[in-house]
Chains A and B, each alone.
Chain A
Amino acid sequence: MSWITARRRHPAAGYAVLLLALVLIGAAYAAFAGHGTTASAAANPPGATKQQLAHGRQLFEVTCATCHGIDAQGSARGPSLIGVGAAAVDFQISTGRMPAKEIGAQMQEKRPVMNRTQTLAVANYIASLGGGPPIPSGAQVNTAGADAALGQQLFASNCAACHNFAGAGGALTYGKYGPPLTAATPTQIYEAMLTGPEAMPVFSDSTVTPDQKRAIIRYVTQTRSEPNPGGFSLGRVGPVTEGIVGWLAGIGLLILAGMWITAKQREQ
């Protein structure tokens, strides 16, 4: 009889099998689950040349026109893009939300399909159709000297309700959600505030000035890169994960200790 077979009736046998199954499932999930997207780096858009516009139009017709219409006028499947501006297009494409893989409650962030040149081309093409907010320049998203304290106040009053105090994200209605801000570049954050993608409200430059936007960006980037002096952050979502850890690790370990202390002793 093998070692395992001999112990099939051990009191802990059932628990061991269950634990093994959980570990295997977890490992399989981790191996196959989709990974986060990588956002492309921000760069100053070069001047839009005729070739670039033609390139952009070509890319648009191939990638976007099925849902947004051949002239970007919109269709049942996608809104009109006339007047949305280059910033909106840059945001959507560089975060991988566009082209949309499936039409759901909200477009998911994923690995972008276009590189920087292509993204800029499409963005400039759309901008040429009807104007709209431009892609912010490097200086505009440079947070050196920005007031993170002001950023904290603005973020807490206007942004944390959807994105959570540390930018960990939160739930909205009907399957929508405020995404985590952990991977967004300063340019993307600026663009999102400027254009109000999907359900997000619009924070135009006249409402939240570029200085104030930089303050918010500084707050976000500083917070997410800040170390956690107390140990593992447990997701930065607050008491829920703390409670889970407290019960599982705290009570769990102590019950194990208690079992050891009070276990029946072998004959000495």
Chain B
Amino acid sequence: MTDSDNHFEGLRGEPTGEGQHGGTAAGEGDRASRARRRAIGTPPPALARRLLGDGRAAERAEKPELPAEPANAQRARRAEQIAALCFAISFLGSVAFIAAYVIFQVHTLDDTFRSNLALGGSMTVAFLAIAVGAVIWVRELMPQVELTEERHPLASAQEDRQAFERTFAEGAQASQVVKRPLLRRSLLLALGPLALAPLIVLRDLGPLPRARLRHTAWKKGTRLVVYGTNEPVRAADFSSPGSLITVVPEGTADDLEAVAKAATIIIKFRPGELRRPTVMDWTVDGIVAYSKICTHVGCPAALYEHTTHHILCPCHQSTFDAQRGARVLFGPAPRPLPQLPITVDGEGYLVAQSDFHVPVGPSFWELG
């Protein structure tokens, strides 16, 4: 331990017995000799101490716990200068921040970049300089100390525990709750539904699911429109093998809730390329439509490798075979992408024959 080491007094402010150097033995001796030499009529030592104050208290008050000055005065002066310089730099940084706020405008990308750089840079300088200055202050300027504080067992003393138990028991008795079961039970009865009430009022957070998850916006005759342009797709125009595009039901492009279930991809295959279990009746001339909503957790499965006919969902790598009914080849998706039955209308545009025959998107308990 260093020379400046001190023993702290315990929490109650009383000196701990063995810990203090040189205090105990002398004190005992003093008290004993005073007791012997006490004149008749003078108060006993304990009372005397209380009346006159303990001589040692004065001693204790004069001995400081922390040294006032650091050991090396020259180093301290140097440290003070460095810390002061750091604080001065910080001051400049803060002023620069205010100036930058006034000077640098935003409203274009380049201006935003400059403003961010100026504001952020000055803020960084301001904070960093204070931090460095403060650390130099603590480490080099404040006198080094290593002090020891006593720990006492965290558990309360036995008497305190027992006193608490007594008070608790007395209070319980006085409250009559322990002695009167009718009171107790009726109180519990009253509190029961009160605790439940906050949950009850949450019922209207949302509608009941019912069969909503089983249906999408696709209906018989709904045209497929390209998502983003809202243009319907002619089967004859979608003729290059390996083509893919995202489509939604006509009229739903602005309704995110509808798109979130109805988004579909159409893929063009060469004649004869599609295989079971793709339902051929639901295809048009090698054009097949699958739900875009991945059956894992609902990301759009949009990645299509036309050389391998694999639809890959980029979120968790579920892979579906577009040639074979979008059945799952790899990854965590538990079921194939539902196939949308499509056909052409009188003008040659692609339309849906009906809604999907199975629910789209992630599996849920009532999937069926």
Given A157-B246, A199-B306; A231-B135 close (CB under 8 Å): no
Given A161-B300, A268-B72; A200-B306 close (CB under 8 Å): yes
The interface size of chain A toward B, counting residues with CB under 8 Å, comes to 39
B77 CB-CB contact with A under 8 Å? no
B6 CB-CB contact with A under 8 Å? no
Residue pair B245, A208 in contact (C-beta under 8 Å): yes
Query: How many contacts A-B (CB < 8 Å)?
Result: 115
Residue pair A161, B302 in contact (C-beta under 8 Å): yes
In the complex, which of the residues A158, A173, A203, A261 contacts B308, with contact meaning CB atoms closer than 8 Å? A173
Q: B312 — which chain A residues lie within 8 A by C-beta?
A: 172-173
B303 CB-CB contact with A under 8 Å? yes
Residue pair A265, B144 in contact (C-beta under 8 Å): yes
Q: B302 — which chain A residues lie within 8 A by C-beta?
A: 157-158, 161
> How many whole Å from A83's CB to the nearest CB in chain B?
11
Q: B303 — which chain A residues lie within 8 A by C-beta?
A: 161-162, 172, 178
Residue pair A204, B239 in contact (C-beta under 8 Å): yes
A178 to B306, CA, bound (A): 13
Q: How large is the interface on B (under 10, 10 to 19, 20 to 34, 35 or more residues)?
A: 35 or more
Q: Report the stretch among B80-88, B164-172, B223-231, B352-360 that lies at the interface.
A: B223-231
A212 CB-CB contact with B under 8 Å? yes
Residue of B nearest to A268 (CB): B71
A228 to B241, CA, bound (A): 39
Q: Report the stretch among B22-30, B44-52, B105-113 that lies at the interface.
A: B105-113
B310 CB-CB contact with A under 8 Å? yes
Q: A150 — which chain B residues lie within 8 A by C-beta?
A: 228-229
A-B contact pairs, 12 of them (CB 8 A): A176-B305, A196-B242, A202-B306, A206-B237, A207-B245, A227-B109, A227-B113, A230-B113, A231-B117, A257-B135, A263-B139, A267-B144
Chain A residues close to B by CB (< 8 Å):
150, 153-154, 157-158, 161-162, 170, 172-174, 176, 178, 196, 198-204, 206-209, 212, 226-231, 257, 260-261, 263, 265, 267-268
List 14 extra interface pairs beyond A178-B303, A229-B116, CB under 8 A: A157-B300, A173-B305, A176-B305, A201-B306, A206-B234, A207-B237, A207-B240, A207-B243, A231-B116, A257-B135, A265-B144, A268-B71, A268-B72, A268-B75
